[in-house]
A and B are shown apart, each in its own frame.
Chain A
Amino acid sequence: MTQMIGFEFGKIFKRKIVYVAILCIILLGGAMFQGRGVEGEIAMLPDGTYIEGREAVVYDIEVASRYKGELTEEKIQNILEEFSPRTKDAAFWGINTTYNMVAGFWGENDGSWNGMGVRDIFPNYQDEKEMVWNYNTGWLSYLEMGIYTMVFMGFLLVIALSPVFSEEYTRGTDALILTARYGKRQCVWAKIIASYLFTIFVTGGYLLLMTIGYFMEFGLVGGEASVQLNNHFLFQDVPYFLSYIQAAGYCLVLWIGGSLILTAIVLLLSSLCKSSFITIIAALACYMGPNFLGQLRVPAELLSLNPIWCFFAEKTLAIPKMFAGNGAGMSYVWVVAAFAVLAVGISFGMGRRIFARHQVT
């Protein structure tokens, strides 16, 4: 079996287009990391001079640490008071992370406080625990980069795994496989295991590199801050207390879960379609299609089971926690994770059934 898995794994990697797609992901990730890393950071000192890079990060962390902890109306007013530009033409952005976030949510056009409380801005927020602020640029960039690159990772998975079964039909090797002793069972499992290994290897490897890269660049500072509090207005619909470190964990579950669901979909389509090209088209339709369902009032619970929504993560995290009888809340992320496990199981069962019963023509 191990030998068969090795062969099947090798077959996935034999195609040049897979290397090209991996290279594209690496280049995209590298470019985003460059743009969203420490080098891209800017901040404005009280005297109006701008600083960049590591210096800006150190300054940002220092400012944020003065206001870190539970975010209160008093802190909001103090931040607006301390950092609002004194001249009419001054920009409200690029001053420092703390001010940018507060001004974005609680600042009027003239830089003054809009009079709203923390919960007024986040009407969906239901948690008893108040939101917590700290410097979070590293975490935010990490999550954003993950979201964008995972969407592209989906394309890589579609391209790499579409031929797993369908190319055997096209090449006529299905006849050889299905007449071999282990062709109708172990070989199919080997193909499916190799596909999941590929997914885990590529997705997991990429996420590991990205995680290490960001932690080396920004460290762990701000992991305890509330995910809703950021100047990109991301995650503002999350209705419960969620720290960046928790959000990163949930996102990793969603990204890997989404990759596994997508792999299951592609494998099933590959076993059904007679050519790799048709599989790729069908898989892309299944992958991209749900992206447009967001406008159609499809329940978020249903949308969140689609790979692309798993990769976007934000909508899934915005689904309220489910409460059991004892009052302990459970994130919907775990439902997605369970669904991913189910999808993997279905792909093993149905993939084998479809391929083994396929009529050679």
Chain B
Amino acid sequence: MELRLDRLTKQYKQKLAVDRIDLNLKCGVYGLLGANGAGKTTLMRMLCDIQDPTSGEIFYNGQNIRKMGEEYRNILGYLPQNFGYYPEFTAYKFLLYIASLKGIGKEKAKLRALELLDIVGLMDEKKRKIKTFSGGMKQRLGIAQAMLNEPEILILDEPTAGLDPKERVRFRNLISSFSQNKIVLLSTHIVSDVEYIADEILVMKDGRLIHRGAPEVITKEAQGLVWECRVDSKLAGQYVEEYNVGNLKNAGDETILRIISDTKPMEGAIEAEPTLEDLYLYYFSEEEKGQ
């Protein structure tokens, strides 16, 4: 199974949202990291064939997805960034509706809907109207609808938005258990969501794929960029302004700073073991500061 992107480009008037992306995706979980506006959502929409690329093509097992049409959508599961729903529908009815759109038979749809409601922890709420759901519950329902047709390609745009830590853990386990022999692409800017479950991390910036690799491999690339230093608490603010600070912890009169920097930021700074989050901050510190 292979999903191939060939010089995929999307331009909105003056803005180049996705810039000539070449990519081969095989079975596995891919974490798409990038700041807001990096082009993740546009890329995912093009992968779902709900936005036309300005140029470039997408092939699934050598076939152009736009020509595959229904055949491609049959193996696709998608959770959009802003998951839309019908407030008056119950969770169960909503899943049955989506199942009918996905061409799942009535009886199978009922069984699958109940199974997924159980998996995402909404079984007890199946008869409740979606308008009464919390953000996390809606998001779980969104994940369930994406998995209804047991898709071979699962595309999840910010799937953990609105989930509490416990729900996030549950979601990660769910994706892990689901991902065998499938292509799962999930975008996020919450690094921990993909750190443990992604087979490969794709880093997007300004519409381009600037980095890719297994989490442990690309994390190692940040070796020598992360420093821990103890500074006088009164001077901490000055360092935060000056350096790309990933973490800040008070320890009495001192403050422990975790600084991401190409060079040793000060005397006494100790090189620290990098994490994926450090790498993310290395690439996106300016964007994050901007937000």
Interface residues of A, Cβ cutoff 8 Å to B: 3-4, 7, 11, 14, 168, 171-185, 187, 359-361
Contacts and interface: CB of A to CB of B under 8 A. Distances in A.
B188 interface: no
A282 B245 CA distance: 53
Most buried by B among A14, A175, A180, A185: A180
Given A173-B85, A176-B145, A181-B70, A4 B80 contact: no
B69 A180 contact: no
A184 B98 CA distance: 13
B182 interface: no
Contacts of B97: 7
A351 to B, nearest CB: 17
A187 B88 CA distance: 19
Contacts of B280: none
B106 A359 contact: no
28 contacts: A4-B101, A7-B97, A11-B86, A14-B88, A168-B84, A171-B84, A171-B85, A173-B84, A173-B85, A174-B50, A175-B45, A175-B50, A175-B84, A176-B80, A176-B84, A176-B101, A178-B49, A179-B73, A179-B76, A180-B102, A181-B101, A182-B101, A182-B103, A183-B73, A184-B69, A184-B70, A360-B50, A360-B80
Contacts of B101: 4, 176-177, 180-183, 187
Contact of A172 (B70, B84, B100): B84
Contacts of B74: 181
A282 B74 CA distance: 36
Nearest to B52: A359
A175 B80 contact: yes
B30 interface: no
Nearest to A179: B78
B138 to A, nearest CB: 12
B232 to A, nearest CB: 50
Contacts of B106: 3
Interface string B23-63: 00000000000000000000001001111100000000000
B158 to A, nearest CB: 13
A179 B52 CA distance: 13
Given A14-B88, A168-B84, 19 more contacts: A3-B106, A4-B100, A7-B97, A14-B86, A172-B82, A172-B84, A173-B84, A175-B45, A175-B78, A176-B84, A176-B98, A176-B101, A178-B50, A179-B78, A180-B103, A182-B70, A182-B101, A184-B73, A360-B45
Interface of B: 45, 48-52, 69-70, 73-74, 76, 78, 80, 82-86, 88, 96-98, 100-103, 106, 145, 149
Contact of A173 (B76, B86, B149): B86
Nearest to A359: B51
Contacts of B80: 172, 175-176, 360
A180 B84 contact: no
A176 B86 CA distance: 11
Contacts of B96: 7
Contacts of B49: 178-179
A136 to B, nearest CB: 47
Given A11-B86, A14-B88, A181 B102 contact: yes
A336 B49 CA distance: 40
Contact of A180 (B52, B82, B98): B98
B111 to A, nearest CB: 15
A359 B102 contact: no
Contact of A174 (B69, B84, B149): B84
A201 B51 CA distance: 36
A73 to B, nearest CB: 66
B243 to A, nearest CB: 38
Contacts of A11: 86
Contacts of A359: 50-52
A181 B84 contact: no
Contact of B48 (A7, A179, A182): A179
A171 B85 CA distance: 7
Contacts of B69: 184
Contacts of B149: 181
Given A187-B101, A360-B50, A360-B51, A181 B73 contact: yes
A184 B48 CA distance: 12
Contacts of A4: 100-101
A184 B51 CA distance: 13
B50 A179 contact: yes
A11 B88 CA distance: 9
Nearest to B42: A361
A175 B41 CA distance: 12
B187 to A, nearest CB: 14
A181 B70 CA distance: 5
Contacts of B73: 179-181, 183-184
Contacts of B70: 181-182, 184-185
A168 to B, nearest CB: 8
B106 to A, nearest CB: 6
Contacts of B98: 176, 180
Nearest to B104: A181
A12 to B, nearest CB: 12
Given A11-B86, A171-B86, A176-B98, A181 B78 contact: no
A178 to B, nearest CB: 5
A168 B69 CA distance: 21
B185 to A, nearest CB: 13
Nearest to B84: A172
A184 to B, nearest CB: 7
Contacts of B84: 168, 171-176
A105 B98 CA distance: 64
